Amino acid sequence: MQVPTLPIIKAFRRVPKFAKFMPSCLTSAIHASSPKNGLVKEEVAAIKAYTAQCDVYTLLNQALRSEQLKNIRPWFSYLKLFHMAINKLKPKTGEYCRGENIDQSSKYQVGSIVTWVRKVIENLYFNE
């Protein structure tokens, strides 16, 4: 499937509830971003938007967990930008923890591998 590479604002215009988080979250992510670690400003902003304390993380993961293409498709352009950014980052070894203030145990099987991408990425790569 061909997905256009769009600037972050245009990528988010395809997302439901765009107006809800755009004014604060995306504007902050874009203004707080500059090229770093081989990433262009738009790629840094894509990561910052996901790791910020706003609805991008929640809404994207709701769409992904639904496993319904109709819910995920509006996110494709943003996911492409995010994927391009993440793939440019070099792996960093270590043990990292993430806290949630809700019980997630019913969502995962014991022994399964769960990968979460959140604030740890911003801390590891952009706050050095």
Per residue in 42-59, pLDDT tens? 898 888 888 877 788 888
Higher pLDDT, 62 or 31: 62
Domain coverage including residue 47: 8-126
CA distance 93 to 72: 30
Distance, in Å, from the CA atom of 87 to the CA atom of 39, rounded to the nearest integer, reads: 10
Inform me whether the pLDDT recorded for 128 exceeds 60.
no
Helix (H/G/I), strand (E/B), else coil: 7: coil
**What pTM was computed for the model?**
0.70
Nearest to 121 by CA among 77, 88, 74, 80: 88
Domain count, the chain: 1
Structural domain contains residue 1? no
Are the C-beta atoms of 78 and 15 separated by less than 8 Å?
yes
15 and 75 Cβ atoms separated by less than 8 Å: yes
Categorize the per-residue pLDDT at 84 as very low, low, confident or very high, splitting at 50, 70 and 90.
very high
Evaluate whether residue 47 is within a structural domain. Answer: yes
| Domain assignment present for 3 | no
